Chain A
């Protein structure tokens, strides 16, 4: 996976360089201090806040000097140097295990304001300046090997002189800066920069990155005069989790990479951490990530051999249930199908929750819908994001009816009808025979009007049950008529139970039904006479409930 990704990323990076990452890089909130070559000190403040613009919440950023004037040029100057000077993570800081110094070179000092106010200069001298002076403390075999290639850079006297000079300057300015920082929010950062060219910043940091780029140098091995080490991104070994190691291999470390590769992996993850969820860089790859303390962690990856934008065959969403004034919809593009599925089945709760494992029950998401989302979303992601259709139609077949029932329970009769239309249309698209609603309607009406007591087919029976149930419930005088009243029917699992429920409801509302209502009496007779013992056919029953009620049709005709 890492090799696949880096291969693609490399091409982009070669074209754009660090700009690729820096374009979306932002300074953290806090106090920024620039110490110029003439020993003057400039103070800047970076702040951000959330504001609502047209209902959307966005973050506004400000970078100003002490007199409140915006300083975009200085911001750019600092941004580049800031990116190079950060530590990989705080556990890799020079003063570990204290971990208060968060910069990687002597040209900067990054600390939390609260720890900055308490820091003794001797700590900085010992843990930062002394360390980078000659990197003598990095004395393991592998580290020495790494440092060999930087000899030419570390050795010259001019560099050492500059380190001492900067250290003395900082010592002298420290009380004054502390005084200034006191009035400031102690949770934020203070970041001090010495004036130096970008190249020197880059070369200084390069030594740090070479030493710290691997997870831990104790795992490193030498192959062909190169030090290979354990990758540090999305990879780690932990003495508390012994099974992260490869127990029976010759090397217990899972993933050893070359220094060049390690650097590319770092650049990629730096870039990934700054990206929104959806990204176009990795065209044929599906990469999904989440952020853990500012670090990007990949939680799904796939290589996609095809990309589907247009559907092979147009999908026609027919108005099977004859909803009034509703026209057939024709879908030709995958995104249209996605939008329709999201709207009709999921009440617009799917797209926004594809990758949320912590979806909670809320006003918009009932417990049942939450369960349905969890059970079906992978099939949806696989189809709409990875263009893999295998599961999609299976899920529609298996869960389609559950969405209809869920809409009914939530009193969304219109959506329930739409859902049933969509389910039937999708199954029909895949060549399945779906219920011929008009046909059944005609057959049943004929039977009821002519008092033809020949056996009902299974489909007809459940359809008729739905019709009768709905008709009876409309007779209720209760002020609040909602879909809850359908609950006992929906819970029925067998023909017998369903018949019992209908009888029970009939007795409840029989005072509303005329003795000579032939059509209804015939219906009840047919239902009672039905002898087959079958499993509850939810679809046919729901069609009965949701389609036009034939006991009222007569009234209209009269």
Chain B
């Protein structure tokens, strides 16, 4: 088994949580799977939400030609398996709330036409990403573009305020999961069981975040999973979708 491995980083990033908008928009600590697939889609030039919206904008729901499906990138990439490893102590990135104005005029219809936006941003985020080779055409294309340093659109981290840096691209060999060792990437909490006590001589960390894992088929809102990043070892031996690479275990989600 092989995987495409690369490092994804940037100065700042914001993966907006959709749940509140009263005071500020908050960000997920880690890039989530739908956003990562979006980034891959942008590199190989697949259409996103905007293209789907444009296609449907003059049509009514149910009318001939109205596309009920996913945006192109998700339709084509949703079967890919990825492993995401935050490259920061305890898997935690510093965050800060940034305040800025949107003064284009049509963003706010209040007097003055100024919209104040507050966003929580990640600072110096960096992840190691593994994409499992499922021998599909689309994986071939992604590896070709990544290894060749090519991209159709400019990839960014959540919003185009935050350009993405991609380096250390490499095809790596994968091996079976190594027993008695921690998982070095984010994994779904209910799929793997971990031991209660932390490894000897290390400070325990357990980072948990409910983050988007797929898109709802009918309405395209996020469906969520509990993702965990920890240094505790796995307890049960028969684990699904965990493979190792250069001595570390990675969970493919």
Contact = CB atoms under 8 A, between A and B. Distances in A.
A552 interface: no
Interface stretch (A171-179, A192-200, A299-307, A446-454): A299-307
A432 B21 CA distance: 43
Interface string B102-127: 10001111100001000010000000
Given A306-B205, A388-B92, A298 B219 contact: no
Given A306-B205, A391-B94, 10 more contacts: A235-B20, A248-B50, A251-B219, A251-B221, A254-B19, A255-B221, A297-B23, A300-B120, A305-B91, A305-B230
Nearest to A247: B53
Interface in B1-43: 17-24, 26, 29
Nearest to B206: A305
A255 B19 CA distance: 5
A223 B210 contact: no
A234 B102 CA distance: 20
A299 B24 contact: yes
B102 A243 contact: yes
Pairs A-B, 4 closest by C-beta atoms: A305-B207, A234-B20, A248-B53, A234-B22
B165 to A, nearest CB: 19
A422 B53 CA distance: 58
B218 interface: yes
Nearest to A250: B220
A507 interface: no
Contact of B21 (A3, A244, A290, A306): A244
Contacts of A298: 20, 22-23
Chain A CB count within 10 A is highest, among B53, B90, B94, for B94
Contacts of B154: none
Interface of A: 1-4, 7, 221, 223, 231, 233-236, 239-244, 246-251, 254-256, 284, 290, 297-306, 378, 382, 388, 390-391
Contacts of B20: 1-2, 233-235, 255, 298
Interface of B: 17-24, 26, 29, 49-50, 52-53, 90-92, 94-97, 102, 106-110, 115, 120, 203-210, 218-221, 224, 229-230
Nearest to A265: B19
Nearest to B18: A254
A299 B23 CA distance: 6
A243 B104 CA distance: 12
A382 B94 contact: yes
Given A248-B53, A255-B18, A302-B95, A223 B204 contact: no
Given A2-B20, A305-B206, A300 B97 contact: yes
B221 A303 contact: no
A301 B16 CA distance: 13
Given A243-B107, A301-B26, A302-B95, A248 B49 contact: yes
Contacts of A244: 21
B49 A249 contact: yes
B21 A235 contact: yes
A223 B219 contact: yes
Contacts of A251: 219-221
B97 A305 contact: no
Contact of B106 (A4, A234, A242, A290): A242
Contacts of A240: 108-110
Contact of B210 (A4, A302, A305, A390): A4
A431 to B, nearest CB: 17
A3 B210 contact: yes
Contacts of B210: 3-4, 7
A305 B92 contact: yes
B24 to A, nearest CB: 6
Contacts of A306: 90, 92, 203-205
A256 B91 CA distance: 29
Contacts of B53: 247-249
B94 A390 contact: yes
A305 B218 contact: no
A305 B90 contact: yes
Given A251-B220, A305-B206, A305-B207, A388 B94 contact: yes
A299 B118 CA distance: 10
Contacts of B221: 249, 251, 255-256
B123 to A, nearest CB: 8
A290 B23 CA distance: 10
A304 B92 contact: yes
B219 A241 contact: no
B220 A1 contact: no
Nearest to B90: A305
B220 A2 contact: no
Nearest to B51: A248
B101 to A, nearest CB: 12
B153 to A, nearest CB: 15
Contacts of A378: 96
A502 B230 CA distance: 59
Contacts of B96: 378
Contacts of B209: 4, 303
